[in-house]
Amino acid sequence: MPTNSYVRWWNDTNEQTLLQNLMTEAIKFHGLDVIYMPRSMRREDTLYNEDILSKFTQTYPIEVYLKNVQGWDGQGDFLSKFGLRVDDKMTLMISRERFEEIIPAARRTTGQITAAVNETEVTGNNTKFKKELRAGDQITTTSSGQTRTIVSIVSNTKLTVSAPFTAAVTAEYFSVPVAVDLPVAPARPMEGDLIYFPAPLSVIMEIKFIQHEQAQGQFYPLGKLTFYDVSCEAWTYSHEVLETGDPDVDAYAQQYEYQMDLELSATDGSGTYDVGEHVFQGGTLADATATGTVVSWDAANRILRISNVTGNFVSGTLVKGDGSGASYYLGDAPNPLLLPTTKAADNQYLNDEDNDIIDSREINRIFGGV
**369 assigned to some structural domain:** no
pLDDT along the chain (370 residues), means of 10: 67 80 92 88 65 77 86 64 70 89 64 87 82 79 82 88 89 68 66 88 88 59 81 85 80 79 83 89 87 88 87 89 89 79 70 69 60
Q: Specify whether 21 is located in the same domain as 66.
A: yes
Q: Specify whether 161 is located in the same domain as 194.
A: no
pLDDT value, residue 26: 93
Q: Specify whether 90 is located in the same domain as 32.
A: yes
**How many CB atoms lie under 10 A from the CB of residue 49?**
7
**3 assigned to some structural domain:** no
pLDDT value, residue 29: 93
**132 assigned to some structural domain:** yes
Q: Specify whether 207 is located in the same domain as 285.
A: no
pLDDT value, residue 34: 92
Length of the chain: 370
Q: Specify whether 267 is located in the same domain as 330.
A: yes
Q: Specify whether 225 is located in the same domain as 276.
A: no
CB burial of residue 279 (10 Å; 0-12, 13-18, 19+): buried
pTM for this one? 0.63
Structural domain harbouring 211: 13-101+189-242
Q: Specify whether 222 is located in the same domain as 156.
A: no
**247 assigned to some structural domain:** no
Are the C-beta atoms of residues 195 and 34 closer than 8 Å to each other? yes
**66 assigned to some structural domain:** yes
pLDDT value, residue 288: 87
Q: Specify whether 311 is located in the same domain as 339.
A: yes
Q: Specify whether 238 is located in the same domain as 345.
A: no
Cis-peptide into 200, omega within 30 deg: yes
**333 assigned to some structural domain:** yes
Report the distance separating Cα 60 and Cα 33, nearest Å: 10
Q: Specify whether 130 is located in the same domain as 53.
A: no
The 8-class DSSP code of residue 40 comes to: B
Q: Specify whether 163 is located in the same domain as 287.
A: no
C-alpha 192, offset from chain centre: 9
pLDDT value, residue 41: 66
Question: CA end-to-end span of the chain, whole Å?
Answer: 91
**360 assigned to some structural domain:** no
Q: Specify whether 51 is located in the same domain as 197.
A: yes
Task: From 175, 202, 224, give the residue that closes a domain.
Answer: 175
pLDDT value, residue 121: 92
C-alpha gyration radius of the chain: 28
CATH of the domain at 128: 2.40.30
List % helix, strand, coil for the chain (3-state, nearest 5). Answer: 15, 35, 50
**168 assigned to some structural domain:** yes
> Domain count of the chain?
3
